[in-house]
Amino acid sequence: MTGNATARPVGADPLAEISGLSLGPVQGGPPVLHDARLTVPRGQVLGVVGRSGSGKSSLAYSLLGHVRPGLEVRSGTVRVAGLDPFDRADARRLRGRVVSFLGQDPASALNPALRIGTQIGEAVRLRSPARRAHEVRAQVEELLLSVRLPADRAFRRRLPSQVSGGQAQRVALALALAGTPALLVLDEPTSGLDTVLADRMRGLLAEVLSGGDRAALLVSHDPAWVASVAHEVVRLEGGRITGAGTPDAPVPAPRSSAGFPAGGGPGPGRAPGAGSREAPRTESREAPGAGSGGALSVRGLHAAHGRVSVLHGVSLTVPAGSCTAVVGPSGSGKTTLARCLAGLHRPARGTVEWREDGAEGGHGAPVQLVAQDARGALNPRESVRAALMRPLGRRHSAADAAREAARLLDLVSLDADLLARRPGELSGGQRQRVALARTLAAQPRVLVCDEITSALDRETASGILALLGSLRRTLGVTVVMVTHDLTAAAHHAERAVVLDAGRVAEAGPVDRVLTAPEHPVTRALLTHADGVVLAVPDQRR
């Protein structure tokens, strides 16, 4: 089905309906969502698929009466249980009671200063008839057990920082289920988890969605999972619903899709949306700077968050010009390690040192972090030009900085006409490229990339990874790639380091670690890697 398709299952009692909804930038410009029409029936799951930046999250947020900063509703209506979520009074009656949200970042759903039991208890009091302490506590315990978490007092008294990433996501799910909402809006709820936890979370959500009259709108980059739980699937492309169908008659991929298969090699590296260009393919996996001397050296690194120890004696070496993948279960310390490498988290003990033989002077900070959340890393009120000019202005005149900003955009395969846009007017892939360009403005020798493709579809992610390969060849930068994507690690890194509970479980050449793993945690990660057998390219070509 092509054109402006409408997802409207026949004979189903509608719980939510979107009719002719268009969203666009407040400042003017092309719509982010154009004339969207769909129905979510009671007791059914509607899956939404499409590339990064196609409007999936904007469509999902509309069911909660929310639009991203910088956007506005231009036309159309949204109704949930007959109420308008954009009306303030109706929204109070709907949110949490009729419709609840679970996103990819549990940190945004949990208050870091409140204990887990307290947060869920507050949700129970607001959304259910329970008022007495023992009634609230009983419901809190029931909710925790329903998402396969301990319900004892010790666990209820933990803060969000004292649980793993997978546990935090299940706590967020328990919060969403408080008050037994009729509609769940699920926006990439497994994208930030390792392969083991993502598999378990998919199973848990399948159980939550399988019984009763609860409906769901499920946004995901995983078409196989969507097909396994959804009654109907719609595809978005460029802000338009371009197809709708049942999972047994899958919606065809957009015509411009490169068809990057799970477990396959990198795609053509094209980021969707106007202003993006094709990035060079990563043809060779040889380290561009290998043999030039120098390395990023980590020795005996210990780090903690408050009184909780996170890293325990981590040691590793990343040769100059190479790419090393850091993988491991959620909560194993990968992000803390990345922040220590970039100087953003002070270690308790140990050293992080960059040495490069024969390096020329004039470089900025030798190690720079490229964060997972490009939207959060960029000021939503600031144009791309302003984001790039700030670091450039410290070393260049205004005219030279403007020329350098345009050069950096070209370096990350973006057109200069994007300089005037704000982050909300860019696709997910474009935002990640802008964040990368801003990082390059500091002239780093090492890029620490923390899950920079986890929120992107496969094709856009492959383009970002191909771009990193191109930057390694052209600039000679060293890359530390923190990732849950074992396929990406297999195809883009020379070495792999596996973390488990803050310690190095195993490390070595990626073809050995990912094809002949020695540690149980590595074997578990590979077992749950979407059923894909990783074919690691020969690095000795």
pLDDT in tens, 505-530: 999 999 999 888 999 999 888 887 75
| CATH architecture of the domain with residue range 295-366+444-530 | 3-Layer(aba) Sandwich (3.40)
User: Would you state the pLDDT for residue 473?
Assistant: 87
pLDDT band of residue 186 (cuts 50, 70, 90) is very high
What's the CA dihedral at 178, 50, 168, 164 to 10 degrees? Answer: 160
For residue 347, pLDDT beyond 70? yes
pLDDT band of residue 10 (cuts 50, 70, 90) is very low
For residue 141, pLDDT beyond 80? yes
**Angstrom distance (rounded) from CA 502 to CA 302:** 9
**Angstrom distance (rounded) from CA 173 to CA 145:** 12
Q: What residues does each domain of the chain span?
A: 14-245, 295-366+444-530, 383-441
pLDDT band of residue 268 (cuts 50, 70, 90) is very low
Average pLDDT taken over every residue of the chain: 82
**Angstrom distance (rounded) from CA 469 to CA 265:** 13
The helix/strand/coil state of 319 is strand
DSSP track, 191-250:
TTS-HHHHHHHHHHHHHHHHSTT-EEEEE-S-HHHHHHH-SEEEEEETTEEEEEE-TTSP
For residue 6, pLDDT beyond 60? no
**Which among 36-50, 105-119, 191-205, 260-274 has the top mean pLDDT?**
36-50
pLDDT digits (tens, 9 = 90+) for 54-94: 888 899 999 999 998 778 999 999 999 999 999 999 999 99
Closest CA to 232 of 479, 408, 30, 43: 43
User: Would you state the pLDDT for residue 117?
Assistant: 95
What's the CA dihedral at 527, 489, 431, 450 to 10 degrees? Answer: 90
Yes or no: say if 137 and 115 are a contact pair by the CB < 8 Å rule: no
Query: Hey, what CATH topology would domain 14-245 get?
Result: Rossmann fold (3.40.50)
**Angstrom distance (rounded) from CA 333 to CA 327:** 10
User: Would you state the pLDDT for residue 443?
Assistant: 87
Please tell me the pTM assigned to this model. Answer: 0.70
DSSP track, 54-96:
SSHHHHHHHTTT---TTEEEEEEEEEETTB-TTSHHHHHHHBT
User: Would you state the pLDDT for residue 442?
Assistant: 86
Q: Which region holds residue 325: left if phi is over 0, alpha if psi is between -120 and 50, else beta?
A: beta
For residue 361, pLDDT beyond 80? no
The domains spanning 14-245 and 295-366+444-530 adopt the same CATH topology: yes
Closest CA to 220 of 239, 192, 241, 196: 192
The helix/strand/coil state of 143 is helix
Closest CA to 1 of 236, 217, 273, 256: 236
The end-to-end CA distance of the chain, in Å, is 44
More confident residue, 211 or 128: 128
**Angstrom distance (rounded) from CA 117 to CA 147:** 14
Residue 317 CA: distances (Å) to CA of 58, 348, 473, 506, 516: 42, 19, 20, 13, 21
Residues in the chain: 541
346-373 average pLDDT score: 77
pLDDT digits (tens, 9 = 90+) for 144-168: 999 889 999 999 999 987 887 778 8
274-287 average pLDDT score: 46
213-228 average pLDDT score: 88
User: Would you state the pLDDT for residue 390?
Assistant: 85
The rounded Cα 425 to chain-centroid distance in angstroms is 18
**Angstrom distance (rounded) from CA 82 to CA 36:** 18
For residue 244, pLDDT beyond 90? no
